[in-house]
Structure formats: C-alpha cells, structure tokens
Structure 1
Amino acid sequence: MNSTPADDLAAGAQRQSRYRQYVLLVLCAIYAVNYIDRQVVAILLELIKAEFGVSDSLLGLLSGPAFALFYATMGIPIAIAADRHSRVRIVSICLALFSLMTLFCGLAVHFWQLLAARVLTGVGEAGTGPASQSMISDLYAPHERATAQATYAVGVNLGVIVAFFGGGWIADNYGWRYAFLAAAIPGFVLALLASQTIREPQRVGSASSAPIPTFRECVNVLWELRSYRYIVFGTAMSAFAGYGMAAFIPAFLMRSHGLDAAEVGALFALVVGLGGGLGTYFSGALADRMSRRDVRWNMYVPMIAALASLPCWPLLLLSSDLAVTIAAVMIPLALSVVFIGPCVATIQTLAPTRIRARAAAIQLFIGNLIGLGLGPQVVGIASDLLAPVVGRDSLRYALAVGAVASCISIWSYWMASRRLKADLAGT
C-alpha cells in the first residue's frame, strides 16, 4: 500500500528524532571523554606527588590553573569560530588534540613536562563545550533544552566513573602513566566518528540569517541581561566548590582515612558517577517540567541542590569516622554538577541565535577561571599553609572554602531568578 503524505511526514519526524538522539549521545560521549582526561589527574595526585616530590600548591596548579587558564581563554576565540563555521569540524579537531595531549601526559618524565601537557590539554578541550551546546540548542526546542543539556551534562558523570574507577585501578596495578595513556584512546575514536557521521545542524531562530554580531556587540548584549550575569557568577561558584572537592577529596581520603587509589576511585565512581549522573539528568528533566509553569525553576533547581548540600559539609570536614565521612561526602559530590543542565539551557535561551556559542564560551571562561582555575589552587595553597599547624589533616580544613563558595552560588541563583522573566521578555 502506498504511503500517504502524512505517513511520510511522520516517518521523517521519527528519523529526525532518532538522529538528534544519536547526535546527543555522541556529544555526551565526547563530554565524557573530556572529563576523563580532565579529572583522571585527581585520582593520581598522591602518586604524582610521591614520584616528583612536589607540594600541594603545585598539585593544585597542575589540576587547576595549568589546565583552566588555556581552557578558558581559548574557548572564546574557538567559540567565535563556532558561531561562523562548522561546529562539527571544530569539535572533532579539538577532541583529537586534547586526546593527544593526554597521551603526552603519560609520557612525561619531569613535572614541568606534565604541567606543559596539561596546559595543552586545556587548549584542546576548549573547543568542544560551546560548540556542542550550540548544536544541541539548534536540535531541541526551548522547552526541551534543559533535559537535552542535562543529558549532555551526564557525560561529566560518565567521565568521572571511568576516570576514578578505571584510573584508580590502572594506577594501582600499572602506574599513573598508564592511566593517562588509557584515557587518551577513546577520544581518537570519537573524533573520527563525529567527523564522519554528524551533519552540521541548521542554525534556528529569528536571527539565524542576520549578520553575525562582533564580539564587542555580543558582550554588550549579554551584559544587559542581568540574569545572565548572576547565572555566570553562580555557576563559577558552583564550579569552585565542585572542582575543589573533586581535585582534593581523593587525596584527603587517602591521607586522613588511609584509603588507596582503587578504593577512592570506586567510591567516586559510585557517588559522583552513578549518583551524580542520575541527579544531573533528573534535575534537567525537573527544570523542564517545572519551568513550563514558571521559568524561574531553572534557577530554583540548582539553588535547592546547593542548599541540600550545606548540612553535609561540617560532617565531611570534621568527622574522624570513615563511614560518617563517606556518607557526608555523597550528597555534595552527587549534586556538584546539577547546575549545568538548567543553567546552560537558560543561557542558550537568553542568548540570541548567532551568539549562543560565545554566550556559552564566556560562561565557561569565567566559570573555569574562577572554578577550575582557583578552586583546586586555593585548596592546595590553604592546605600548605595549614600543614605546619595540623599536619596531614590540613586538607580536612582547607576544603572548607568549598562550603563558602556554595553559599555564594545560592545567592547568585536567587538573584538571577528575580530578573529572569523580564530578561527573557526583553523588558
């Protein structure tokens, strides 16, 4: 029987739905590889410290500013290119580049070589996030974006599972260098897959065919959106707390509670990977559902997540009992990236079509300079300053700066919620 135009239309819509799900899955996998390469160093810090004999401040530099400075600053020029040229090609090239630099991390024989490789890892990773977020926003309607962006953000948790569980096991059995070498391999495969199977999405929106604004014009437009400013600052504070914990809680558990790399890796994989992945996805779905009634729920969701974490901080930092510490660490770690889906979706909806990649890159620039750049570094410096007083327990007290940053993020999301409706309405 011949198909009707309605049948053909339905079949085409189904194919498009399956295709965009495939694209989202590949981009999520790329984000996971991004986080494997980024976070595997955290489970390896104690082993790197033992081999090279460096201080916590230098370990903070390795896991924070060395990566974040170039990751953040290169994100803006690459995002400008993504607003003008093929985002698929940009993602594929950057993915291959940061995978190559991760490979070089495993080959370093001096600490400065490892530091240099981490810097260049940041250059490569800078190109995947903004371009991916922009593509997702062209594939999904505004009322679907928080769920789609949260699904993409689950890549963070998948990456953490592999980085901590796999990285810890490999480090304990074969050495920390092999953990870097193993982390590099998936990126080369995904770079080839993305370049060959993903088509450049059509840019959608009322201004998709308008002249591309200059970077100065882009900044001026975004600066006028007060909610955007608060969202960016709030995500930076959330990232400060999250990256500070992710970088040094493994070392804290090893030093103060006697766990080894494999045990800490399994714990992080379970809590941050599985628990955090569920929290990240369902936070996006919840934000999409509730924001249909009131768009401010995109801010309320990360605000509530940060509030729920606050009672756990004193137990995490002060308890000498391992079971209590592990129980207390679960909620802050599992909820540490809940903000990504709702906040990224809101930024992509606030920003005009032709500056979406740059809106994402500016948020990543500020968020990563403050969060990834300063979070681990401040914790490392605080630990070194406290070490003469409290000895091996210095990280226990240094990690308290994360609780302060989390409180500031709550205030920022509340302030963003007060202005969000007006900014979306253009008033």
Structure 2
Amino acid sequence: MTDATADTAPAAAPSPETPVVTPGYRSYALWLMLGIYTLNFLDRQVVNILAEPIKQDLGLQDWQLGLLTGLAFAVFYTFLGIPIARLADRANRPMIISVSLAVWSAFTVASGMAQNFIHLLLARIGVGVGEAGCSPPSHSLITDYTPKDKRASALAFYSMGIPLGSLAGMALGGLVADAHGWRVAFFVAGAPGLLLALVAAFTLKEPRKLIAAHQAKTAAEAPSFGEAMKELGTKKSFWLIAFAGSLTAFIGYGHLAFYGSFFFRNHGAELAQLAQAAGGLGPAGFLGTALGLIIGVFGAVGTFLGGQIADRAAKKDIRAYVSVPAIAGLASFPFFIAAMLTGSLALSLGLLALPVLLGSLWYGPVFAAVQSLVRPQTRATAAAVLLFVVNLVGLGLGPLFVGILSTSFTGSMGEAEGVRWALLVSSVVGLIAALLFWLARRTIREEIVS
C-alpha cells in the first residue's frame, strides 16, 4: 500500500479492497495466526492418538470415540460459528480470536481431568465452543491484510495450521502419553494457548481502525443475516463448493480419528518392533510421531502447493479454484485403498503420504474462492456458513459414521478388520466430493465479485 504524498490534498482513504498494513506486519500477523491455528488443530486432534488409551481407561466403545472426536465437538463449533462471524463482521476481530484461543485452551486442559465419558464429552464440547471463534474472523482479517492476487496463498499459509497442528497433536500426544499418560498429554497441549492468547490480544491489529474513513460506511452497509444468506443463496458455486468441501472433510476427519486404532489393531506386532528399533520408543509415541510427520509434512506441502497452484492458475482461469481440489480428490483414491489393504506397516504409512498431500490441496483454493464470491461486508459470514456446512457434515458426522461402521463390522469381522473396512467403505465419499468440485466450474467464473 502507498500513501498519497501531495502537499495540497489529504491522503486518500484506503479502500477496503486495499491492504492496510505493511508487508512486514502482514508477515508477522500471518505467522501469528498460523501459530494460533496450529494450536487450534493440536488441541482438536490430540484426542485421536490418545483414543486407544482413553478407550481402555474409561471403558469406551468405538461409537463413543467417534462422538468425542466428531459430533460432540462439531455441533457447538458449527452452530456458534455463524453468530460469532456476524459479530466479527462488526466488532474487533483480534479480540474475538484471542478470547476464543483462551477458552479452547482451558477446556483442553480440563479434558485431562475427565473421570468418565460424560466429563470428557463436556470438555470436548467446551473446546468446540472456543474454537468456533477462530477461523471466521481470521479468514476475514487475512483477506483485509492481503492483496487480492495473493489471497489463496495467504489463506493456504494460514491453513497449514491444519497439518502442522495435526503433526504436533499426534507426535506430542503419543510421546507424552507413553511417558506420562493421556491426561498429561492434554495438559501439555492446552497450556501454550493460554500464553499465545495474550500475545494475540496485544499485537494483532484491527484494520478497521486503520480505515476510519470507511468504518462508518462499512457498519452502515453491513448486511443483516437474512440479507447475507440471500446473497449466498444466489451463488450456486458457493453451495457446490461447500458441500464438496464438507464431503472431503467427512472422509478426512473420519479417517484421521481412526488411523491410530487401525494401525494398533492391524499392525500391532510390527509397530512394537519398529518402535523398539527406533530408540526404545513406546508404540503410541512411535505411531504418533510417524503419523504426525506424514500428516504434518505432506499435509503442509499439499496445503502450500494448493494455494500457490490455484493463485497462479486462477490468473488465467478462475475455475482453477475448484479444478485443483477436484483432480486431487480423484488422484488420491487409489493410493488410500492400497494403504489400507497392504500387510506391511511401513508400506502402509508410505502410501498414506500421497492421499494426505493430495487431500490437503483444497484449503487455499476453496477459502479464497468463497471470500471472492461475496462482497467484503459478507466475508466473515460466508466463511462461517462454509465452515458450518463443512464441519457439521465433515467433523460432526465423519468420525461418528466411521465409528458406527467399525462397530457394526466388528461383530462379523473382529475389531481389526472392522476398522479397516470402515475406512475403506467411507473413502468412496471422496469421489462424490470431486464431482461436486468439478460441477462448480460451470458457474464460478460468472459469480466472482470481489
């Protein structure tokens, strides 16, 4: 952004479409929000690697694990996301993010104090309540900080918190659980967020304060929720993208919740051998580190590449925002099937890296497309509605669906084959998601407005 320099005229008020912070501060803010989003997913996903010890300690069944890792969190996360986004379209977004971070971190710590299923269920609901205030204001804030031609890359950079947080959650959760038990793992996961919340509260800037000339106008023009939904209702591309994203998240969250159980049950002997050979690690520590590295490294690479590819391709054809995730979804399917069917633990982990990479390409393109399909005054609401659909279907129902399938298959196949076939059957949903992304190509070019 440049300022007017004429002595005889006042500096022109920056447009809401023009970045209002320096490149240096923008980089700092993006790194800080990446750190926050990393903790968001660390606290959300750490329960996955702890599922087996929690199951044994509290005497749970797979459907209860699915409820803890999915629906219990997602219901409050998704339903609170929209009213918080409405607040974010008007109020101080950095403060919303900071308070939310403190709340979900505190409830993550409380998860380690649970004495039964109900206690843990309530704690996970609390995590969902807190995390509802993270992404809608963050997406809106990043869009204000970033030039239009770099939005997909910026939002993809922020979305790298998903794989990085999953890496940290898996590795930290497994290692700490092996050494000190699953309860301490929750304590260690939640504590950093309480400190980072203070950093965010005092250093993140609200751009609306920097564009005072537009602030009153923006508040006056901010649409009601009904008007925002009416605007979204005219965007066929938005709904195709939302449901494609929700089905992609359905298999992503559903599978992630049961990867630990799959490897413990189907590759237990080889897992123990490899863990011992890797310096005497426990099975949970080894598996958590291995899965964390695969999900973190390949997921981060996929997320970053998705934003870069989409930004470059979209300069020639805006439909790249939906073409990239459609092609990636189709390409990942055969590798996932092979990873689930091989009898080798090492080969299974190696094959899983490709679906993780390809399955992460969609974040930047999808988030950028949604932010560009609506007016600036509707962006936080659009992000919240997208996340509402994606998380209610994906996070809410994905783990629960895989858990129910696993429980139903266990009666005739046993626990090991039950979870394997639950993962295989549910993966077909990814093909439907790819089709919906491809169908969005028909309308997205005409519906982009900002």
TM-score > 0.5, shorter chain as reference: yes
Corresponding residue SS for 1:217: helix
Answer yes or no: is 1:122 the counterpart of 2:128.
yes
Amino acid at match of 1:53: G
Note closer, same or farther for the CA distance 1:222–1:276 as it changes in structure 2 (3 Å cut). Answer: same
Residues of 2 paired with 1:290 and 1:100: CA distance? Answer: 42
Matching of residue 348 in structure 1 with residue 371 in structure 2: yes
Counterpart check, 1:364 vs 2:382: no
Mark the CA change 1:362 to 1:14 in structure 2 (over 3 Å): closer, same or farther: closer
Q: 1:312 aligns with which of 335, 339, 348?
A: 335
Match of 2:448 in 1: 424
1:64-105 CA-partner distances (Å, limit 9, x unpaired): 001000000010111110011000110000110000100100
Q: How does 1:9-28 map to 2 (within 5 A)?
A: 16-28=22-34
* Cα distance in 1, alignment partners of residues 236 and 187 from structure 2: 44
Match of 1:295 in 2: 318
Aligned counterparts of 2:308 and 2:337: Cα–Cα separation in 1: 30
- Runs of 5+ in structure 2 lacking a partner? 12-18, 272-282
Q: TM-score, normalised by structure 1?
A: 0.94
Which whole-Å CA distance do the structure 2 matches of 1:380 and 1:220 have between them? 36
1:90 aligned residue = 96
Change (3 A) 1:115 1:209: closer
Deviation at 1:347, TM superposition (A): 0.4
Q: Secondary structure at the match of 2:221?
A: coil
Q: What amino acid sits opposite 1:212 in the alignment?
A: A
**Structure 1 residue 333, shift from structure 2 partner:** 2.2
Shift of 1:311: 1.1
User: Do residues 177 (structure 1) and 183 (structure 2) align?
Assistant: yes
Matched-pair contact (CA < 8 Å) for 2:20–2:145: no
1:201 aligns with 207
Q: Taking structure 2 as the reference length, what is the TM-score of the superposition?
A: 0.89
Cα deviations by residue, 1:125-162 (Å, 9 ceiling, x for unpaired): 00010000000000112211000000000111211121
Report 1:122-161 matches (<5 A).
122-161=128-167
Mapped pair 1:271 → 2:294: yes
2:352 to 329, 351, 362: 329
SS at match of 1:138: helix
Query: Quick check: 1:211 aligned with 2:221?
Result: yes
Render the CA deviation track for 1:193-230: whole Å, top value 9, x for unaligned: 01101110239899846521111111110011000010
Is residue 326–residue 434 contact of structure 2 (8 Å, CA) maintained in 1?
yes
- Count of residue correspondences: 418
Query: 1:405 is aligned with what amino acid?
Result: V
Pairing 1:415–2:436 present = no
Indicate the larger mover: 212-221 or 35-44: 212-221
Distance of 1:268 and 1:44 partners within structure 2: 13
Q: Quote the residue 1:406 is aligned against.
A: 430
Tell whether the 8 Å contact from 1:91 to 1:131 is kept in structure 2 after alignment: yes
Alignment partner, residue 239 of structure 1: 249
Report the CA distance shift for 1:94/1:40 in structure 2 as closer, same or farther (over 3 A): same
Change (3 A) 1:403 1:251: same
Residues of 1 paired with 2:390 and 2:101: CA distance?
21
For 1:290 and 1:210, the matched residues in 2 are separated by 36
Counterparts of residues 39-54 of structure 1 (less than 5 Å): 39-54=45-60
What letter matches 2:44 in structure 1?
R
What is aligned with 2:16? none
Measure the CA separation in 1 of the matches of 2:228 and 2:150: 25
Q: Is the 8 A contact 1:98 1:122 kept in 2?
A: yes
Letter in 2 for 1:237: L
Q: Alpha carbon RMSD of aligned pairs, Å?
A: 2.0
Equivalence for 1:58: 64
Give the conservation status (yes or no) of the 8 Å contact 1:241–1:401.
no
Partners in 1 of 2:51 and 2:37 — Cα distance? 22
Instruction: Indicate yes or no: 2:410 matched with 1:387.
Output: yes
Q: Distance in 2 between matches of 1:169 and 1:401?
A: 31
Q: Indicate if the aligned counterparts of 1:71 and 1:125 stay in contact, CA closer than 8 A.
A: yes
Matched to 1:255, the amino acid is: R
Percent identity for Structure 1 against Structure 2: 41
Query: Once the 2 structures are TM-superposed, how far is the Cα of residue 327 of structure 1 from its aligned partner?
Result: 2.4
Partner of 2:263: 253
Q: Which stretch shows the higher mean deviation, 78-87 or 264-273? A: 264-273
Q: Judge conservation of contact 1:158–1:277 (CA < 8 Å) in 2.
A: yes
> Structure 2: which amino acid aligns with 1:352?
R
> For residues 203 and 349 of structure 2, what CA distance do their matches in structure 1 show?
42
Aligned with residue 230 of structure 1, among 227, 240, 245: 240
- Contact 2:20–2:144 (CA under 8 A) maintained in structure 1: no
How does 1:64-103 map onto structure 2 within 5 Å?
Answer: 64-103=70-109
Deviations 1:213-262 (A, max 9, x none): 11111111001100001010011011001101110011100111113211
Aligned residue for 1:311, secondary structure, equals helix
Q: Does 1:165 align with 2:175?
A: no
8 Å CA contact 1:242, 1:402 repeated in 2: no
Deviation of the 1:14 alpha carbon: 12
Q: Which amino acid aligns with 1:137?
A: T
